[in-house]
Each structure stands twice: as structure tokens, then as C-alpha cells.
């Protein structure tokens, strides 16, 4: 689930922080930049593990910042294919189940990778599965908050490039269409719920790192089932 990865980078220390111990300041800058951030094709960075190399600091021309070349190792969350993960169900939709492991919530189990015969109950926002040849009272439910086990099948990476003027305009047009539809349906001039353009754009953005899992084998699914 956790790995160590080596990264080389440039750390810049501003003049007003020269009073700190240099090593501590370098570590703080690394954690500030990488902790709780997703690095493409590497994973979710947790924190710095150790420093491997630190160069002499060079003062930059004009700004007074000290530039230090460093090589360090990070603790990274990146489960391998086939690994069994235990987490809690955070939500269920017709497209699948979302699982959280406290510090990471972008774990998705699509409907096609659930037990055969699993059905989505829309009014309860949950899935139900009855083992073969089992009585109706033996039905198992994927309730929100349930502790479950899943097997990692794959991972998805989405590089978030800056949004250009064309994409921003499209987001505003979609927002206006939503408001017009809400007014026609009797929601009033401004609608009962005001949706900002930023929220509309955020809804279109996908998580930078998604783990795809399955719950369709013995021992997987609800921990309390087995």
C-alpha cells in the first residue's frame, strides 16, 4: 500500500526564514510542497521519509532566496494490483461504490466488479447481494459506513491542466442552462439552490488519482459477512 520513492528537486528558502535550522527548513519546504498531493504516475504523497543529498545553498540574484538542490525519499500511497484493501463505503450510486481509507477517498468499485446478482436500491442508495441458493433473509447490503474489503484491479491518472477560456465559457453556458431548467421546473428566478460557476467547473473535474477495485470473490465485500 505504501512505497518509498526518490525525488530530486530545488528548494527555495526566503530570507525571513534564515533564522531556522537549515535542515529543518528544507524538510518543512519539502513537506509543504508534496504532502497530501498527487504526483502523476507516482501516487499520493504522505510525507518526507528522509534526506539523501543536500547541496550548498546559493543566493539567487535579486530576490535573496537561497536555492538548495535536494534528493529525498517520500512515503507514497500507491497500492499494487491484486492488493487487498480494507476501507469504509462512503457512497453508492448506480455506477458503483466509493470506498474511503480515511486519508484517501477516490477508490471506486464499478457495478461490473461487484458480486454477480448485486442490485442497486435507488431509494436507499445502497446495493444488495444474495449469495446463491441462500434464503432471502441472508441478503447482504453494501451500506454507507460498512467496513469492506476489496481487491485492487487498476488505477487511473487524470492530469489537471489549467482551464482555458474556451472551457470556462462552456462551464458558464452549462450553468446558465441548469438555471433556466430549474426556473422552468418551478424553482423560482434564482432557484432554491444557487450553484456557482466554480462548483460547476469542479463537478467536471476528475480526481487526479483513482484506484479501481473489485468485490466479487470470496472474502471480499463486507467484513462482517465472512
pTM: 0.76
CATH number at residue 33: 3.30.1490.120
Structural domain that includes position 108: 84-154+210-225
Which of these three, 29, 49, 77, is where a domain ends? 77
* Tally of domains in the chain: 3
Quick check: is 52 in a domain? Answer: yes
Question: Please, which pLDDT band fits residue 60 given cuts at 50, 70 and 90?
Answer: confident
Q: What is the CB neighbour count within 10 angstroms for residue 199?
A: 11
H/E element, 172:
helix 165-182
CB-count burial class (<10 Å; 0-12, 13-18, 19+) for 23: exposed
CB 87 within 8 A of CB 107: yes
Quick check: is 160 in a domain? Answer: no
The model's pLDDT over 159-216, given as tens digits with 9 standing for 90+, comes to: 876 656 665 566 667 767 777 776 766 655 444 444 444 444 444 467 899 999 999 9
Does pLDDT of 130 surpass 90?
no
Amino acid at each position: 500500500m505504501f512505497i518509498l520513492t526518490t525525488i530530486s528537486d530545488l528548494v527555495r528558502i526566503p530570507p525571513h526564514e534564515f533564522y531556522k535550522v537549515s535542515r529543518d527548513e528544507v524538510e518543512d519546504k519539502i513537506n509543504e510542497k508534496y504532502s497530501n498531493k498527487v504526483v502523476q504516475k507516482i501516487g499520493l504523497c504522505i510525507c518526507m521519509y528522509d534526506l539523501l543529498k543536500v547541496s550548498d545553498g546559493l543566493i539567487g540574484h535579486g530576490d535573496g532566496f537561497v536555492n538548495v538542490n535536494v534528493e529525498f525519499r517520500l512515503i507514497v500511497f500507491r497500492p499494487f494490483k491484486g492488493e487487498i484493501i480494507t476501507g469504509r463505503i462512503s457512497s453508492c450510486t448506480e455506477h458503483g461504490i466509493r470506498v474511503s481509507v480515511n486519508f484517501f477517498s477516490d477508490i471506486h468499485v464499478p457495478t461490473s466488479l461487484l458480486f454477480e446478482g448485486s442490485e442497486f436500491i435507488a431509494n436507499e442508495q445502497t446495493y444488495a447481494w444474495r449469495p446463491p441458493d441462500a434464503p432471502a433473509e441472508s441478503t447482504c447490503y453494501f451500506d454507507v459506513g460498512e467496513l469492506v474489503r476489496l481487491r485492487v484491479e487498476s488505477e487511473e491518472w487524470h492530469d489537471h491542466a489549467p482551464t482555458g477560456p474556451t472551457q470556462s465559457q462552456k462551464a458558464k453556458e452549462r450553468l446558465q442552462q441548469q438555471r433556466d431548467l430549474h426556473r422552468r421546473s418551478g424553482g423560482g428566478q434564482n432557484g432554491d439552490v444557487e450553484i456557482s460557476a466554480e462548483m460547476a467547473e469542479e463537478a467536471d473535474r476528475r480526481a487526479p488519482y483513482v484506484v479501481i477495485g473489485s468485490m466479487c470473490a470470496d472474502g471480499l465485500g463486507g467484513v462482517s459477512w465472512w
